[in-house]
A and B are shown apart, each in its own frame.
Chain A
Amino acid sequence: MSTRDLFTFRNGHFRIGVGITAAILIVTAIVGFIVLPFAQPWVQFADVWDAICSAAGVPQRAASVTAPEQAKRLSEVVLTSNTLARPSQEAIGRGATLAQRCAICHGPTGVSRADSPNLAGQYAAVIYKQLHDFRSGARTNAVMSPFAVNLTDQEIADLSNYYAYLPRLPAYHPTPQLPKPNIVIYGAPMRGIAPCGACHGSLDNKTGSPWLEGQSEAYMKAQLHAFASGERRNDISQQMRNIARAMTPQDIDAAAAYYASQPPDVVKAVD
């Protein structure tokens, strides 16, 4: 018997093999695409075709509703982990010149005495995003916005690279080191809060998230409250707003106090 005799209905093995396979496929398809969808009384289908499409995972078009007009601008910055990778020495130098106008609040060495964020050694992508958002109006601040509004793309990139280049220094407001609070290490799973440390250092770091060790306690508290109230809204997909809204005031105090008391992490060589 050759292969030619194999693929023919005269061959019993072919009949049985293909027949049983097809029968199982048809039965499971009918059950999976018709019977089970209708067995869910809480889901309404227009007709059988609708049920089949739903079970097959056809993307459902939402009723044509136009998105509501945004009263406030949203952040349009796109960050990848290659953003601002490998800056040139010239770019850092230009940034250093530009940074003189920032020194009044952020400190001549990038370490603030005025409860403004410490920028020395902050990730370039973080500064880049915030400056863009201040410029576009996605984030507003009475002091900061006027500084940012006239910056060019090049200047923003240079400033970001300059501050990222500076060594991380201990801040001016060290307090006794505190034990790691639960919110930083475990988050609050029952309230859908991931650990702060999973993005902001202590455990891990994610693109676009600033490291927080040694930052001003007052500043961090203010930002968390601003996220919670919706006053600040330049976080991507409401990541920080969702977290801040679910945090209790005690969580906010604990997280801010903990990070403020930490010395900056040893700078990891990142290229």
Chain B
Amino acid sequence: MLVNKKLILAHFWLAFAVFGIALTLGAWQMFIRSPIGTWLSNPELYYRSLTAHGTVMGYVFPTLVAMGFGYAISEAALQQRLVGVRWAWAGFWLIVAGSIMAVIPIALGRASVLYTFYPPLIGNVFYYLGVVLVVVGSWIWVALMSVNLRVWRKAHPGAPVPLAMFANVAGSYLWAWTAVGAALELLLQIIPVAAGLKNTIDAGLARVFFSWTLHAIVYFWLMPTYIAYYTIVPRAIGGRIYSDSMARISFILFLVVAMPIGMHHTFADPQVGAGFKFIHSAFTALVALPTLLTVFTICASVEIAARLRGGRGMFGWIRALPWDNPMMLALAFSFVMLGFGGAGGLINMSYQLDASIHNTQWITGHFHLIFGGAIVIMYFAIAFDLWPHLTGRELIDVRLIRTQLWLWFIGMIVTTFPWHWVGILGMPRRMAYFDFGDPAIAPQALSVTLSAIGGFILLASGIMFIVILARGMRAPQVDAGPYRFALAVHQPATVPVALNTHALWVALMIGLTLTNYGYPILNLALSSGTSVPAVYVGAQ
């Protein structure tokens, strides 16, 4: 039951429009710092573009997808009209206003601080206020998801919450809490300086606040993808979810252990004690657990589909899968990229191994493979799956969809594998320019060129994606029927209260945040003499 289709479509269209722009910037960046581009001789332009790319891809695009998908889940899984539609529109317009407010200073070169802010670098205050508006808009969505679930619970006391909604609300709570870190950094540290009230900043404390957000935000990005794995893919390929409980446990594990691990981003920072770095490293290792559970459950679910289609043998069933189905294709690509990206992540989270790749191009390669690859390809799949239900029109050209997914997969591999490689060779990240004529880095020219070509393949795929959706708006009308989510092999009749509510796991998430972040933050906040002069972007 999808009622507020316009609301959901508005979120998706805005998300994919800004994605298209940021993708173009990304491809240009790959090109301009590769040996095939001619250097513009102005690094500021590069950082300007990089800030826009990161801000859109990190804050605006995935948040809008999660919100639009969340509203769709709330209506379709709970079978009830969205409560608080006006609030939802208010949230949407806040994001529009925030994005415009943030993009103007970026375009003027007044906020080339990259999306991770990098204090003591300070840009124009409107950039940060714009980001705050985007976050506030998304918090409205968090509240609405919670309210809608509560309304449903009242009408269905004791009934198991549909898996898609359970996971969706878990994702929204994770986002609500993880965004607090960046919000504290912005409100307490950066905005007072950007507004001219102070001219020094505690950069170390600001970085710790940001690490609070920086890792769990990835799991917020991941949530729609995992929801699609569990609740869309098995239905789309004619199978069933292998275990509903396993799915719930994965999502609550994400709630608990995605949060208190962000300090693996500050392994090289002197202001954090080594003991806390170790604890965060150990908890980061735990976050592999829900992913491994998911890979197991989804592979089992897919096997069920294959065997229902007549697949036989230990591995022979793989051939029986519906490989011409875009959802199957997207899942397979996503898993391959998740596998490689996850393996790379194990290196990043290790205190010792991190030292060899910290701040190198390996890191950028890693998060593009995980986010741009494994996660975003499922955003595409979600859009393809929902589109006929939102527009009432069929996406006819399945071949084009398959080509688009193939190109995205190939493009991402071609982009990120050489990117990882030059990182191992020591090429630093966040550099606007490399002189490949220098014998010291000349051997890396080939890898960087390949990466740039991959960037153009991705751009081509991104354009195809938008064309497919746009053509879908004009296709012949069709009745897509009610939107359904996948069913489990054993649909639960009752679910233990711990797996049907989020309170316990939210409490553990907050508790672990206090144990793992409390002392480092207090220590830095209460120490005097830890501030440094702000460096204003564009000032001489």
Contacts and interface: CB of A to CB of B under 8 A. Distances in A.
B274 interface: yes
B513 to A, nearest CB: 12
Contacts of B519: 56
Among B196, B274, B275, B527, max chain A CB count under 10 A is at B275
A18 B511 CA distance: 10
Interface stretch (A30-38, A128-136, A219-227, A244-252): A30-38
Contacts of B243: none
Interface string A238-271: 0000000000000000000000000000001010
Interface in A32-65: 32-33, 36-37, 52, 54-59
A103 interface: no
Interface residues on A, range: 35 or more
Interface stretch (B378-386, B390-398, B500-508): B500-508
B520 interface: yes
Interface residues on B, range: 35 or more
B540 A80 contact: no
B43 interface: yes
Nearest to B122: A81
B275 A21 contact: no
Contacts of A203: 43
Contacts of B515: 25
A123 interface: yes
Among A14, A18, A32, max chain B CB count under 10 A is at A32
Contacts, number: 117
A24 B286 contact: yes
Contacts of B527: 59
A189 to B, nearest CB: 9
A17 B508 contact: yes
B149 to A, nearest CB: 13
Contact of A207 (B44, B275, B497, B535): B535
A270 B540 contact: yes
A104 interface: no
B497 A5 contact: yes
A25 B498 contact: no
Contact of B508 (A18, A204, A206): A18
B533 interface: yes
Nearest to A16: B498
B497 A24 contact: no
B498 A14 contact: yes
B256 interface: yes
Given A21-B512, A81-B539, A57 B283 contact: no
A203 B45 CA distance: 12
B534 interface: yes
Given A13-B499, A81-B535, A123 B274 contact: no
A182 B379 CA distance: 46
A141 interface: no
A150 interface: no
A205 B540 contact: yes
A21 B510 CA distance: 12
A94 to B, nearest CB: 22
Given A6-B501, A32-B279, A13 B496 contact: yes
A186 B438 CA distance: 10
B275 A32 contact: yes
Interface string B267-287: 000011111111100110010
Given A1-B496, A36-B278, A80-B199, A6 B540 contact: no
B100 to A, nearest CB: 24
A6 B278 contact: no
A28 B283 contact: yes
A37 B503 contact: no
Contacts of A28: 278-279, 282-283
Contacts of A7: 503-504, 507
A32 B277 CA distance: 8
A29 B533 contact: no
A82 interface: yes
A13 B256 CA distance: 14
A88 interface: no
A15 B236 CA distance: 38
Contacts of B535: 81, 206-207
A123 B540 contact: yes
A24 B273 contact: no
B497 A81 contact: no
Interface string B519-540: 1100100010000011110011
Contacts of B256: 17, 21
A54 B497 contact: no
A116 B123 CA distance: 36
Interface of A: 1-3, 5-7, 11, 13-14, 17-18, 21, 24-25, 28-29, 31-33, 36-37, 52, 54-59, 80-82, 123, 125, 185-186, 203-207, 268, 270
11 contacts: A13-B498, A14-B504, A32-B278, A32-B282, A55-B275, A57-B520, A59-B527, A82-B199, A125-B540, A204-B44, A205-B540
Interface of B: 43-44, 196, 199, 256, 271-279, 282-283, 286, 435, 438, 496-499, 501, 503-505, 507-508, 511-512, 515, 519-520, 523, 527, 533-536, 539-540
Given A56-B276, A56-B523, A125-B540, 11 more contacts: A7-B507, A14-B504, A18-B504, A25-B512, A25-B515, A32-B282, A36-B274, A57-B523, A82-B196, A82-B536, A82-B539
